[in-house]
Structure 1
Amino acid sequence: MSRFTDLFMGMLGATPKKPEKVSEKVQKIMFLKYEDKDRYIKEKLHARAHHATSHKWRNRRWAVLIATNLLFVLSFSLDIQILEGALTASRFVGFHLIDLNSALQVTLAHKYVIVNLLIGTFTVFLLWVLLGGRTFCSWVCPYHLVAEWFEALHLKLVEKKIVTDHEFHRGARTVFWILFALMALITGYTVFETVSPTGILSRALIYGPGLALGWVFLLLLFEVFWSRRAWCRYICPIGLTYGVVGAISPLRVSYNVERCFHEGDCRKVCLVPHVLDVTIKGRAAEENMSLGPDCTRCGLCVDICPTDALRYEIKGLSKLL
């Protein structure tokens, strides 16, 4: 299979595999690392010791996410009609914007395409093709931010051995995507929108809290005491929909095998660590490789990498600062 097919199947839940063929340049790089092992280890320890902890991309992401959702709130409360509606369906200075997964659910439920829905969907489709589909998850979705804060609590409890993290098969998300689509088609009701913490939080911020926030709180408790980031990793169909859309995005996080010391810190902080499988020794087929479509472009791996082996890039252009 081609690398694109492997990455796409990985997004659906397939286990990452070792490359069938490794370029001569990568073979040479890995040979030199093993040949001069002492120097390699010394450089690795030096890089980690002198790498200042950075939250540059995380802080930028939080700022964009908070500003986007705050604009919804201000537009409604001040009636300034800049960004009306909520994340599931909105209008930006008159342009319709429809969440792609919500549009799919509505179309399946009603069994016909609404014109405004088609216009709004096309606009959002182009936006996330350019930015990388799952960028929505980490740079816009309010539940992602709240879950990220609660994840810190989960990790502390795990460290103190108060709780144990339970993992599920990543293919569960694909199964849930199909189930939610079938429920909309069969019942004529957008079932997912009723339970989606993304929509619930977005509407609560704009129009005020409701009983549905209780469901969001239960999800967060489940993630704190049982399974790390369970909703985003194993259930939410939004991430899968946007991953498919952004598969050909020019904006990406790229990996350079020569600069990598394979210490694994990047995989520890990643929401979808399977996209960083390429950073494991022997898993890189080329010297420079982009991460898969399931990457949320959150920047946590870029911030933590001590040698700039991971960085943001626009395909064909230099890295982003």
Structure 2
Amino acid sequence: MNRFVESLRQLLGAEPRRPSREDLTPEVVRIYDEKRQHKLTKEDLEANAAAHEKSAKRHKWRNRRWAVLIAVNLLFVLSFQLDVQLVEGSLTASRVLGFHMADLNAALQIMLAYKHVVLNLLIGTATVFLLWLLLGGRSFCSWVCPYHLVAELTEKIHLKLVDKKLIKGRSFHRGVRTVFYVIFALLAFATGYTVFETISPTGILSRAVIYGPTLALLWVLFLLLFEIFVSQRAWCRYVCPIGLTYGIVGSMSPVRVSYNMVDCKHEGDCRKVCLVPHVLDVTIRNRSTDIDVPLGADCTRCGLCVDVCPTNSLNFEFAGSKKLD
């Protein structure tokens, strides 16, 4: 339960707590002590990284994720263009083979704005809730959301500019996302209008891909330019309430990324590629309280850390036992 509470604390913006030596199990203490006595040289770490760079598994989960994300959004497009009615609507609200589905955050905004619940919305919300409860809530962000894919690609430009010292990347307190969550909820309740859905790049891009571009894409362009020149992945990290909603749902999911500290060399490569690196705080030396530790609720299950780890210390698993390959 303590681990669950700590996971939710981090989801809401709190910094990870640094465990004391007394919090570590005896087996973990023994392994850390052995690692301290047998430190790898810089050359050893570079050799491990170089060998992994040539591995066929280097981008396995990223490629799978991109394929699923493109396929899901393309299904909406083909269904509309060919008028086959397999999938109707957009990611905000849709019908799949006639069965209603509703984005959890959008449904919450609608309920607050109109102050009543219709049956179709309730059915759609329950269906999507169960789906992402099983798959891991924030996996919606990395495996389905079109803005995540676009922002992931433009992030590479930001990192190159930072690396060349042309710009200085800025970060903000993660707790502002919780503040925005409350603000958008209050705006919906007070105005009777779903303010967030109007400016959500997820909905804007989904509708643009399916039905054609609109001037709203200028807002998406502004967000991307802000993330390129000012703050890396700012919308997803500091503003978007969708991640918070799905993170709460996914905190109980059986599908997750788990960390095993036995063979980890603590290089930090996983944290460098992660959208939410605080969930990988456990990979820092002397931070893991147990041999196997599931990542927190804010994890998007994007798989980038699994791909980049040269020691196979990070893996997808189902219900704490079966690894997913």
**Shorter-chain TM-score category?**
over 0.9
Give the AA of the match of 1:244. I
How far does residue 308 in structure 1 lie from its aligned partner after superposition?
0.2
Work out the CA distance in 2 between the residues paired with 1:247 and 1:126.
13
Residue range with higher mean Cα deviation, 269-278 or 13-22: 13-22
2:163 to 159, 163, 188: 159
AA in 2 matched with 1:35? Q
Aligned 1:32-181 pairs, distance under 5 A: 32-37=34-39, 44-53=45-54, 54-181=58-185
How much has 1:318 moved relative to structure 2? 2.1
Render the CA deviation track for 1:105-138: whole Å, top value 9, x for unaligned.
Answer: 0000001111100000000000000000000000
Partner of 1:29: 31
1:161 and 1:137 mapped to 2: Cα distance? 30
Quote the residue 1:244 is aligned against. Answer: 248
**Secondary structure class of the residue paired with 1:64:** helix
After superposition, what is the alpha-carbon deviation per residue over 1:213-256, rounded to whole angstroms, capped at 9, x for unaligned? 00000000000000000000000000000000110100000001
Q: Specify the code of the residue in structure 2 equivalent to 1:52.
A: E
RMSD (CA atoms): 1.2
Decide whether aligned partners of structure 1 residues 8 and 202 sit closer, same or farther in structure 2, where only a CA change above 3 A counts.
Answer: same
Structure 2: distance between partners of 1:316 and 1:234 = 30
**What residue number does 1:220 align with?**
224
3-state SS, counterpart of residue 159 of structure 2: helix
- 1:17 match: secondary structure: coil
Give, in angstroms, the shift of residue 282 of structure 1: 1.1
CA distance in 2, matches of 1:159, 1:79: 47
Determine the C-alpha separation between the residues in 2 that align with 1:173 and 1:221: 20
Per the TM alignment, residue 316 of structure 1 is displaced from its structure 2 partner at its CA by 4.0
Between the two proteins, the alignment pairs up a number of residues equal to 320
- How far residue 37 of structure 1 moved from its aligned partner, in angstroms, is 2.5
* 1:42 to partner: Cα distance: 6.7
Paired with 1:259 and 1:42, the residues of 2 have a C-alpha distance of 17
TM-superposed CA distance for 1:2, in Å, is: 1.1
Task: Find the counterpart in structure 2 of residue 16 from structure 1.
Answer: 16
2:270 corresponds to which residue?
266
- Find 1:196's aligned residue among 200, 205, 225: 200
**Could you report, residue by residue, the CA deviation over 1:259-280 in whole angstroms, capped at 9, with x for unpaired residues?**
1100000000000000000001
